Structure 1
Amino acid sequence: MTFEAPARLWLLAAVAALVIAYLLLQRRRSAYAVRFTNLKLLDRVAPKRPAWRRHVPAGLFVAMLALLVVGFARPQDDVRVPRERATVIVAVDVSNSMLADDVAPDRLTAAKAAAHEFVGGLPEQFNVGLVGFAGAANVVVAPVTDRPAVAAAIDRLAQGEGPQGTAIGEAIATSLDAVRNLDAQAAEDPPPARVVLLSDGANTAGRDPATASALAAQLGVPVDAISFGTADGVIGGRGASGTAVAGQRVPVDGETLQAVAQATGGGYFEAGTSEQLRDVYADIGSSVGHETRVQDVSARFIGAGLVLALLAALASMFWFARLP
């Protein structure tokens, strides 16, 4: 915490002096009371009641003064606030390996369910787009604030769309194009943007992910990369081309995704279950939907000081029938 007017904190010295003066007066009062030998008069001067009660209002009053002084010094702190304008592109791998059932019911279905929750939790004013990729990448829905449209696009994601393979570099480049093509303003002054990319394997098609990552870093667009699946992934049946793939092992490979995240300033996450994936999306959503700003927080201290002033008044009236 910092203070915009730290010199005002010197007023705390006056509060400390007030405390010292109060303690000295209490000692003097006790010494003065002992001089009386008349017990009835002594009882009227220093009546028998719990000693701590008469100090409570004074203590609350002093604490109130200290809080008001701190508030007067204009304290500032890091505060998480909702972002006002941003674009988020959700890129989802739809290659054959996403049919592996090591994550129930399969990787793609679990990824789509988690994507629904992630998009639903973003601020309404955010533009959200969806990119699907296998051996190539395409914009399924351009960035919009229309959440039902994005939800419908997520439902339309299907395995095996387009050429086979895993084109991570193409997915990043396509996501960047979607951000820059948002509107006329975005071309000149792009809004804060982020790409959230989910895949289960290494890049096997299209441009080099390192090249696409360098472009993302240049544009200031972090890529949060999620490696989804386990080492036990297996797919069966036939792929989109009709080729038999029974018993084909498709272990998750997050090395490329980790490099992408590091190169772009994003985060790298691993998820081996649907629950873990939801937690990852929730973590990303919390950071994407908010930003940290330095704000004046003097109201916290002034408000607390007013509460203590009220408590001091109530204690004094209840125990001594007077205001402090």
Structure 2
Amino acid sequence: MEIAFNNPHYLWFLFSIPLVILAHFYSLRYSKKKALTFANFPAIEKITGDRLVTKNITLLVIRASILFLVILSVAGAIFWYQGTSTQQDFVIAIDASSSMLANDYNPNRISAAKEAALLFMDKVPKKTKVGVISFAGTSFIEQYLTEDSQKIKEAINAISIKKMGGTDLGEAIVTSVNLLLPQEKSKAVILLTDGQSNVGQILDESIEYATKNHITIHTIGIGTEKGGQFFEEIVSKLDEKTLIEISEATEGKYYRALDNTALTRAFNDVALLTKKQLSIELAFPFLIIAILLLFTEWTLINTRFKQLP
């Protein structure tokens, strides 16, 4: 659980609260000096009793609270927590580097990945928005987020091995996160790869970017421990350590899919997950509370705490 802010730069105004407190006590000293000119002290005591200090502290707390809540509201406070929900939007990110041609799956890794992703689309609830990207040395947006299942399946089927060399997991994560940012639902990335990130974006920075934006990344490691051949004698093996680090840092799950069946099972499990990162917008509630406190202050000043002339 945590509170985040859409406009954190406004939090600098919190330093104005001590100024409000100083101004209050300066005003209090001025009021006491003014009261000394009133000769009929018994009359003052009958009207105010012993509530002078309590009255001023009460108003101080109210005014400071109003300012505090208004600043949090303008800063766009959001409360993030782990909860359960069946509503979630996804980006499916499939590795399309040459290593995905390895033959340790039937017929190869990329074909098995596409087949499992297609079955995943039959499991997700209706109204779920899904986007698709492929990646190698850079990322390619195959389909922006949409509820149209047919378009998503066509995009998955269209994925092919990219000529650009290398695998850039970092850029794949950033591209996926950027696609999800405008969405209001809980958001997750399904990152399917053999985990061999060897070019491009610094991976730690990409993970931090996803975490900052509360995007869950579920990683699916495709590839056996023995590895599979592609392009004659070249062997590609699964890099589990990297994928585990990504999923743990973003509160997702890591799936080790050692064959076609396990790969399909991993996608199905993600579709059925109900534990998600959820958020509550606090800006409007804080503003309403601030308005109510402002009305309370006005009422007290003009009734119970009304000052003597």
Conserved in 2, the CA contact under 8 Å of 1:231 and 1:250?
no
Code of the aligned partner of 1:287: L
Fraction of identical pairs, as percent? 28
Code of the aligned partner of 2:235: R
Q: Does 1:212 align with 2:197?
A: no
Distance 1:115 1:286 in 2: 14
| Aligned-partner SS, 1:82 | coil
Distance 1:149 1:278 in 2: 21
Code of the aligned partner of 1:170: E
| Aligned-partner SS, 1:138 | strand
| Aligned-partner SS, 1:235 | strand
Distance 1:89 1:292 in 2: 15
Code of the aligned partner of 1:141: Q
Q: 1:262 to 1:236 in 2, by over 3 A?
A: closer
Which of the pair has more CA radius of gyration?
1
Distance 2:96 2:151 in 1: 19
Code of the aligned partner of 2:195: G
| Alignment counterpart, residue 251 of structure 1, candidates 237, 246, 249 | 237
Q: What does the per-residue CA deviation read over 1:257-290, in whole Å, with 9 as the maximum and x for residues that have no partner?
A: 11111111111110110000111111111005x7
Q: 1:236 to 1:81 in 2, by over 3 A?
A: closer
**Corresponding residue for 1:276?**
262
Q: 1:191 to 1:233 in 2, by over 3 A?
A: same
The answer for unaligned runs of 5 or more in structure 1 is 1-78, 238-245, 294-324
Q: Does 1:87 align with 2:81?
A: no
**Corresponding residue for 1:197?**
191
Q: 1:196 to 1:236 in 2, by over 3 A?
A: closer
Code of the aligned partner of 1:207: Q
| Alignment counterpart, residue 127 of structure 2, candidates 120, 125, 128 | 125
**Corresponding residue for 2:107?**
105
The answer for unaligned runs of 5 or more in structure 2 is 1-82, 279-309
Distance 1:211 1:267 in 2: 20
Q: 1:80 to 1:259 in 2, by over 3 A?
A: closer
**Corresponding residue for 1:170?**
171
**Corresponding residue for 1:158?**
160
Code of the aligned partner of 2:124: L
Q: 1:254 to 1:291 in 2, by over 3 A?
A: closer
Code of the aligned partner of 2:255: F
Code of the aligned partner of 1:284: V
| Alignment counterpart, residue 263 of structure 1, candidates 240, 245, 249 | 249
Give the root-mean-square deviation of aligned CA atoms: 2.0
Q: 1:291 to 1:251 in 2, by over 3 A?
A: closer
Q: What does the per-residue CA deviation read over 1:86-132, in whole Å, with 9 as the maximum and x for residues that have no partner?
A: 32000000111111111111111000000001122111111100010
Conserved in 2, the CA contact under 8 Å of 1:136 and 1:162?
no
Q: CA deviation at 1:81?
A: 5.7
Distance 2:236 2:85 in 1: 41
Q: CA deviation at 1:82?
A: 2.9
| Alignment counterpart, residue 217 of structure 2, candidates 200, 205, 223 | 223
Distance 1:141 1:292 in 2: 24
Q: CA deviation at 1:197?
A: 0.3
Code of the aligned partner of 1:200: D
Q: CA deviation at 1:162?
A: 4.8
Counting only pairs closer than 5 Å after superposition, residues 296-307 of structure 1 correspond to structure 2 as none
**Corresponding residue for 1:66?**
none
Q: 1:236 to 1:225 in 2, by over 3 A?
A: closer
Question: Please, what TM-score do these two structures have when normalized by structure 2?
Answer: 0.60
| Aligned-partner SS, 1:213 | helix
